[in-house]
Amino acid sequence: MRIPLSWLADHVDLAPGATGRDVAAAFVSVGLEEEDLHGGDVTGPIVVGRVLSFSDEPQKNGKVIRWCTVDVGPHGQMESERIAQEIVCGAHNFEVGDLVVVVLPGAVLPGGFAIAARKTYGHVSHGMICAEDELGLGTDHAGIIVLDTYLGADAAAEVRPGDDAIALLGLAEEVVEVNVTPDRGYCFSVRGLAREYWHALGSPEGGFRDPAAVPTPAPSPTGYAVELTDETPLEDRTGCDRFVTRVVRGVDPTRPSPAWMQQRLTQMGMRPISLAVDITNYVMLAVGQPLHAYDLAKLSGPIVVRRARPGEHLTTLDAVDRTLDPEDLLITDGGEVPLALAGVMGGATSEIDASTTDVLVEAAHFDPTTIARSSRRHKLISEASKRFERGVDPDLAPAAAQLVVDLLVEHGGGTADPGVTDVDRTSRRAAYLLEVDLPSRLVGHRYPRERVVEILRDLGCTVVDGSVVDASDGPKGAHVLVTSPSWRPDLVDGPDYVEEVARVNGYDNIPSVTPTPTRGRGLTHAQRVGRLVANALVGRGATEVLTYPFVAESLADAFGLAADDERRSATRVANPLSDEAPLMRTSVLASLVEALRRNVSRGQKDIAIFELGSVTLPGPDSEHTAPVPGVERRPDPETVAAIEAALPRQPRHVAVVEVGEAERAGWWGPGRAVDWSDLVDAARAVAAALALELTVEADPDHAPWHPGRCARISLPDGTLVGHAGELHPKVLATLGLPPRTCAAELDVEVLTVASASATRFEAFSTFPLAFTDVALVVDAVVTAAEVETALRSGAGEWLESVTLFDVYAGDQVGAGLKSLAYRLAFRADGRTLTTEEVNGFRDAAVAAASAAVGAVQR
Amino acid sequence: MSGPNKQYDPVEVATLDPAHLDAAVTAAFAAFAAAGSLEELKTARLAHVDKGAVAAAKREIGALPPSAKADAGKRVGAALAELGRALAARTVELEAERDRRILVEEAVDVTMPVGRRALGARHPLTLTTQRLQDAFVGMGWEVVEGPEVESEWMNFDALNLGKDHPARQMQDTFFVDPPDGGLVLRTQTSPVQIRTMLDREPPIYVVSTGKVFRTDELDATHTPVFHQIEALAVDKGLTMAHLRGAIDHFVRVMFGEGTRTRVRASYFPFTEPSMETDFVCFACHGDGRTNDAPDGAPELLRACRTCGGSGWIELGGSGMVNRKVLTACGIDPDVYTGFAFGLGIERALQLRSGVTDMRDIVEGDVRFSQQFGMEV
């Protein structure tokens, strides 16, 4: 909402010398956030000009520029030689003889744009002819301002080339724009903002002059007939509870609205249209009551307000034919012909036009929910709907209608009908019994009773001593009975009033007291695990990145997932930003490959990245509907359980992707390429950080990994942790990723659960270590893990470690066989092992390997 | 002088002559000194100690008459001791020289580039999250987390965002298909507060951190996926003063002692009274205007792009937990009060580290993370 300082000053005494910045700061102090500051940043010369001649000149870039001469009065570049101003203009919406706005060299436009004579399109342009947006008057850039239409012919007849356009258009005046929160609809008016500014100054006696404080006539039976009906109220609130109509006859349709009104509308960001429309807009901006003007000649029956019928249509003023919903509220002519979508937008059939002389003015009060839904349903946010859905003062309609009538009579030469309609079904606002101490208690700052009452009264509340109705046990005078003013429907219960007291008294006066919780237990195990997992990977040289969890439907195929793979069951976003990526990822790898691709495309070759984040696993048969219980009380445990059951499982995973060199080449020698083992080792590092052991098996069937280079990683008890290895060459080719890219994905929840209990210390021996080496020949298909398991099973209790230090396949061992060389290390508790003992252990280990996998010692 | 020996050999006896012995010792000293290496010293030792005149003199002592033995033995012994000391001293010198030379010979160019193994880094956003979490944990709060695909009830209804609230529209919220299934991608971390209140009895002092989703297209200042931290306290006797105190503490921890803030009334459905906290703009320091011109020409003074000209940057919303929210979670609002505040972690990172383009945070370019190492 905007407010020009001069308009504000009409209704509240400004602080002496107040600038736009000061006024904005005052608004902030009462909780209205500053959005912007307009105007006041234009310096001259900006003058009225008359177009004397022009020629259209096509340019190489396809544009046609207009080379103009303009009479700018005594400001011309070569006035002494009687040569008119020469200006290049890109717009074509003007004719010779038109009055335009000319910015001359030396002027500065909003945003700090300094204007100078400059060479462009083969001419020296001595200034510029302005469009609305360039002057900060609006957003219109369709063409330049032609004053004859912009001001109206009458007003334009008064101006001469060379006149100061800054004064003419009010460009020098500062306009403050504030952001109005949804609870304070009344601030969508000069009336509301003036009151708030007055509060910011301390609500000085007599400092605020309510623009809606005008005498209004009593309703009379001769007013235009109005019927309010509503057979299906929303949430038990009738769609329309007040409807005021007034009639003004004999309005001269050719009269323009006065220049001052047009200027204010422009400053507020609205376009002047016609006298009747401008007046309704002006009064709406002044007091906050949306109004509508109908051409009385186009109405026949009484006005009937009702809900729309199924299939009914209305063409609104924006020329859109709208199919109505039975929840939409309509203003109709005689109950049959829809005239307007109530509180949102008028219809085309009863529109004021160039021949309208008799005007019916509507000032009504509509249910916020009805208007909000209609506005959203039809994607139509109007100045009216914006105000109605935030709550309009239900007592305002008669005064607002009177203001419109007065202006139509004054500026349109009309005569007001004596008949006044006011169908009033508004209900009295309930008084609230406010504990006077509540603001002090809830804010933590002492507000004396007198101060609380004073603030509430300044706000417009009616405050009476609560003891008359105070049935509570508290001391006399502990309560006051507060009735909120009609423009504050948001004030309902205690905390609402507390905020008002704290706000008007100044939020800056709220003290700062650090709370002192005493039961903190630090981070949870799961939280520490998350940090450790990430840090362990960083320790291995990987870099953490973040990716969006949205993936393409085609990714499951690109990954080569089997038809029954659980990861194909994905949660789908109903309204994705991109139809290319409507699914939530079922693996972190699914989105991490995007980050890999981006880094590759930006020239990185050796990449190790990881991400720790949620995956969404709804499973193939899950029911996705969550109950939405009420909020009047805590939902019962079954309902909470049903909500939880509807949520997909969302475990935390970590994925790592590596490609390029694991160890770089350099002056020290050649590098070493990343291979599957680096990723298994990464998994091991993660597990080791949590003091967990992992079991590794070959998994020939886990997409998107290479069937021969994929390790299934599990806990010793068999619980699956994840997979690591090289990705499938076909997957890499399909996704356009570098060959030999390796990856791992681990379920961090599994690691968290497994590492939850404190690690138990195991005593270790300090006696010497004894080594013995053994080379075993096995069938090539036997895995290292199988051989190691067998060796461990036979080596006895003093085995400390088994290290595979060589693998050989070739002529010396024979076709289809391989040789694995192990170093076994033994250490006993409490004594030194003899060579004979160690040899015995070794032989037993070899025997076990022979029995288990047919190993033969070389 | 001793008497003549019956096996007297005038030639051999000459080696025992004091002057002769002195000369031999002097010659040995000279040889030791001349030795330029441990090898040469060894040669000198062989020539002058193990063999040579002094060794010969020692051998000849036995041939002397008993009366002369003691005197000669003393002189030869002294000479040998002198040689031993000299030899040891020279050995130490030469060893030190050798060690020095080896170290010099082994010297390398330590300025050659290293980096055989890549260095990793955390993402600054997760680091910022950790820093924020730690600030609260240090105050005795706990960290809570919740699901990103969330129920509408937790994300909206329980937070007093009724069915008609604008935030529940498709243009703001990602809905899970089917759209009427009651599931959304959470638009805020506040549903975690609801979960906490359903789970725990007051006193509650928790912060929830995590990913949230809004249907904004990615550009320099917006991202559809971002991160929030929200604090929730529910206890007996909590006031807006406590809320302010918690925010002030947090601001000091995050942005330093001198950071100027202001508070103003605001509106959020889940709090009443509500409050907004602003920071002084780090780009224009509160002036609201910046000047791009090198000569500071006044006509080029323009509204600060960082704060939009107001001089302040929004830190985040807060307030006393709405009674309706407490009620929906089964907490008696007549017994307990609570406060909540939240802010975007991206914004905290931007403020702290001068990251101006949101795209750098979300694109996953390793060069972004690598600037930060393991700490923001």
Test mutation, A507, A585, A602, chain B, max B CBs within 10 A: A507
Tokens of B254: 């995050």
Domain boundaries, chain B: 10-106, 124-370
Per-residue pLDDT band for A280 (boundaries 50, 70, 90) equals very high
Q: State mean pLDDT over A480-500.
A: 95
pLDDT of residue A118: 82
B310: pLDDT strictly greater than 60: yes
Lowest-pLDDT range, A411-420, A535-544, A621-630, B240-249? A621-630
Encode pLDDT of A359-380 as tens digits.
999 999 999 999 999 999 999 9
pLDDT of residue A143: 80
Which chain A residue has its CA at the smallest distance from B183's CA?
Answer: A626
- On whether the CB atoms of residues A21 and B288 are closer than 8 A, the answer is yes
Q: What gap in Å lies between CA B198 and CA A635, rounded to an integer? A: 9
CB contact under 8 A, B374 and A624: no
Strand partners, B278: B262, B314
B164 Cβ under 8 Å from any chain A Cβ? yes
Task: Please provide residue A411's backbone torsions phi and psi, each rounded to the nearest 5 degrees.
Answer: -100, -15
pLDDT of residue B10: 47
Cβ-proximal residues to B306 (8 Å cutoff; 6+ apart), any chain: B281, B282, B283, B284, B313
Task: Please provide residue B220's backbone torsions phi and psi, each rounded to the nearest 5 degrees.
Answer: -60, -25
CB contact under 8 A, A37 and B309: yes
Which has the higher per-residue pLDDT, B10 or A22?
A: A22
Lowest-pLDDT range, A498-507, A607-616, A719-728, B295-304? B295-304
**Cα angle, residue B164 at apex, residues B163 and B169 outer, rounded to 5°:** 90
Residue type, position B197, single letter = M
ipTM: 0.85
> What SS3 state is found at B91?
helix
Test mutation, B266, B295, B346, chain A, max A CBs within 10 A: B266
pLDDT of residue A5: 94
Q: What gap in Å lies between CA A280 and CA A383, rounded to an integer? A: 11
Per-residue pLDDT band for A744 (boundaries 50, 70, 90) equals very high
**Cα angle, residue A805 at apex, residues A804 and A808 outer, rounded to 5°:** 95
Task: Please provide residue A548's backbone torsions phi and psi, each rounded to the nearest 5 degrees.
Answer: -75, 145
B130 Cβ under 8 Å from any chain A Cβ? yes
B272 Cβ under 8 Å from any chain A Cβ? yes
Test mutation, A516, A634, A748, chain B, max B CBs within 10 A: A634
pLDDT of residue A139: 60
User: In the predicted model, what is the mean pLDDT of chain B?
Assistant: 87
Residue ranges and CATH numbers for the domains of chain A are 2-39+174-200 (3.30.56.10), 46-169 (2.40.50.140), 226-424 (3.50.40.10), 432-509 (3.30.56.10), 525-615+650-754 (3.30.930.10), 770-857 (3.30.70.380)
Per-residue pLDDT band for A272 (boundaries 50, 70, 90) equals confident
Encode pLDDT of B127-178 as tens digits.
999 999 999 999 899 999 999 999 999 999 999 998 877 777 777 899 999 9
Q: What gap in Å lies between CA B233 and CA B140, rounded to an integer? A: 11
Closest CA to A51 of A69, A37, A30, A74: A69
CB contact under 8 A, A444 and B369: no
Residues 111-150 in A contacting B (C-alpha not used; CB under 8 Å): 111-112, 114
Which chain A residue has its CA at the smallest distance from B143's CA?
Answer: A523
A765: pLDDT strictly greater than 70: yes
Strand partners, A421: A245
Per-residue pLDDT band for A475 (boundaries 50, 70, 90) equals low
Q: What gap in Å lies between CA B245 and CA B251, rounded to an integer? A: 10
- On whether the CB atoms of residues A250 and A413 are closer than 8 A, the answer is yes
Work out the percent of chain A whose per-residue pLDDT is above 90: 75
Encode pLDDT of B102-112 as tens digits.
999 999 999 99
Which chain A residue has its CA at the smallest distance from B262's CA?
Answer: A508
pLDDT of residue A326: 95
Residues 79-98 in B contacting A (C-alpha not used; CB under 8 Å): none
pLDDT of residue A82: 63
Kindly list the residues from chain B whose CB atom is less than 8 angstroms away from the CB atom of residue A37. Answer: 303, 309
pLDDT of residue B11: 47
| Overall size of chain A counted in residues | 858
Secondary-structure class of domain B124-370 per CATH: alpha beta
Lowest-pLDDT range, A336-340, A553-557, A842-846, B289-293? B289-293
B176 Cβ under 8 Å from any chain A Cβ? yes
Encode pLDDT of B73-83 as tens digits.
888 888 889 88
B117: pLDDT strictly greater than 60: yes
Residue type, position B350, single letter = Q
Taking each helix axis from N to C end, the angle separating A449-458 and A494-505, rounded to the nearest 10 degrees, works out to: 90
User: Among partner residues B262, B275, B327, which is closest to A632 by beta-carbon distance?
Assistant: B327
Chain A: closest CA distance from residue B100 (Å): 26
Chain A: closest CA distance from residue B278 (Å): 10
Q: What gap in Å lies between CA A256 and CA A259, rounded to an integer? A: 8
Closest CA to A414 of A579, A221, A279: A279
- Other CB atoms within a 10 A radius of the CB of residue B24 amount to 21
B179 Cβ under 8 Å from any chain A Cβ? yes
| Overall size of chain B counted in residues | 376
User: Among partner residues A517, A547, A648, which is closest to B140 by beta-carbon distance?
Assistant: A517
- On whether the CB atoms of residues B266 and B341 are closer than 8 A, the answer is no
Cβ-proximal residues to A593 (8 Å cutoff; 6+ apart), any chain: A657, A735, A737
Which has the higher per-residue pLDDT, A784 or B70?
A: A784
Q: Find the DSSP H helices in B141-181.
A: 152-155
Lowest-pLDDT range, A722-731, A781-790, B284-293? B284-293
- On whether the CB atoms of residues A48 and A167 are closer than 8 A, the answer is no
Cβ-proximal residues to A185 (8 Å cutoff; 6+ apart), any chain: A288, A387, A389, A390, A391, A392, A489
B362 Cβ under 8 Å from any chain A Cβ? yes
User: In the predicted model, what is the mean pLDDT of chain A?
Assistant: 92
Q: State mean pLDDT over A5-18.
A: 94
Closest CA to B263 of A503, A176, A497: A503
Lowest-pLDDT range, A29-38, A832-841, B144-153? A29-38
Lowest-pLDDT range, A638-652, B20-34, B329-343? B20-34
The residue assigned the tokens 């009309």 is A414
> What SS3 state is found at A480?
strand
Per-residue pLDDT band for B251 (boundaries 50, 70, 90) equals confident
Per-residue pLDDT band for A150 (boundaries 50, 70, 90) equals confident
B185: pLDDT strictly greater than 70: yes
Query: In terms of DSSP bridges, do strands A175-179 and A345-346 run parallel, antiparallel, or are they unpaired?
Result: unpaired
Query: In terms of DSSP bridges, do strands B204-213 and B142-144 run parallel, antiparallel, or are they unpaired?
Result: parallel
Lowest-pLDDT range, A65-74, B26-35, B148-157? A65-74
Cβ-proximal residues to A29 (8 Å cutoff; 6+ apart), any chain: A200, A506, A507, A508, B264
Residues 87-116 in A contacting B (C-alpha not used; CB under 8 Å): 108, 111-112, 114
- Other CB atoms within a 10 A radius of the CB of residue A143 amount to 15
Q: State mean pLDDT over B306-334.
A: 90
Cβ-proximal residues to A600 (8 Å cutoff; 6+ apart), any chain: A607, A659, A737, A738
A602 Cβ under 8 Å from any chain B Cβ? yes
CB contact under 8 A, A443 and B142: no
Which has the higher per-residue pLDDT, A420 or A134?
A: A420
Residues 247-266 in A contacting B (C-alpha not used; CB under 8 Å): none
Work out the percent of chain A whose per-residue pLDDT is above 70: 97
pLDDT of residue B6: 52
